[in-house]
């Protein structure tokens, strides 16, 4: 039987590279998902058309909606946010009756998981 020499440092380098690729793929999938969530919120939570969310007469609030993601501690953090200073008031007013960010993002939870999973599957092939 032949002896096999294993370079453990090379094995660990390869594992680190794979982990970095997976986290990068998670971020890419999350970025795609969050853009879709923002588009969904802008359309679906336009109160005059759907009866959901806040009546945004100036469209300033709707136009300020965006998303960010970043890598953190071998993971990824994503945020859907509105830049207008009164967005938190709208989100919490009357027990969330006019909320748009939380329910819109919550409704698309499965889409977010699917997009992240699809991106990671591509890396693992």
Q: What is the pTM of this model?
A: 0.80
Q: What is the pLDDT of residue 39?
A: 95
Query: What distance in Å separates the CA atoms of residue 14 and residue 8, rounded to the nearest whole number?
Result: 10
What's the confidence (pLDDT) of residue 119? 92
State the pLDDT at residue 24. 87
What pLDDT is recorded for position 21? 81
Tell which residue, 67, 76, 16, has the closest CA to residue 42: 67
| pLDDT at res. 46 | 77
Predicted confidence at residue 113, as pLDDT, reads 95
Q: What pLDDT does residue 40 have?
A: 94
- Return the ∠ at Cα 16 (arms to 15 and 22), rounded to 5°: 90
Structure tokens at 92: 């919490």
CA 64 – CA 86 distance, rounded (Å):
11
Q: Any residues with CB less than 8 A from the CB of 50 and at least 6 apart, and which?
A: 44
Q: Give residue 1's pLDDT.
A: 65
Res 80: pLDDT: 95
Tokens coding 28 = 């890419």
pLDDT digit string (tens) for 70-87? 988 878 999 999 999 999
The predicted structure's pLDDT at residue 65: 95
List, for residues 39-56, the tens digit of each pLDDT value: 999 988 877 777 788 888
Q: How far is CA 33 from the centre of its chain?
A: 5
Bridge partners (DSSP) of residue 67 are 80
Which parts of the chain register pLDDT below 50? none
């Amino acid at each position: 039987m032949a002896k096999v020499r294993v370079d453990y440092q090379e094995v660990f380098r390869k594992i680190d590279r794979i982990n970095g690729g997976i986290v990068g793929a998670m971020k890419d999938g999350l970025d795609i998902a969050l853009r879709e969530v923002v588009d969904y919120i802008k359309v679906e939570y336009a109160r005059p058309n759907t009866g959901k969310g806040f009546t945004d007469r100036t469209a300033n609030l709707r136009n300020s909606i965006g998303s960010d993601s970043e890598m953190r501690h071998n993971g990824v953090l994503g945020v859907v946010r509105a830049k207008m200073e009164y967005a938190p008031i709208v989100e919490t007013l009357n027990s969330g009756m006019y909320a748009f960010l939380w329910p819109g993002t919550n409704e698309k939870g499965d889409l977010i998981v699917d997009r992240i999973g699809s991106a990671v599957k591509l890396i693992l092939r």
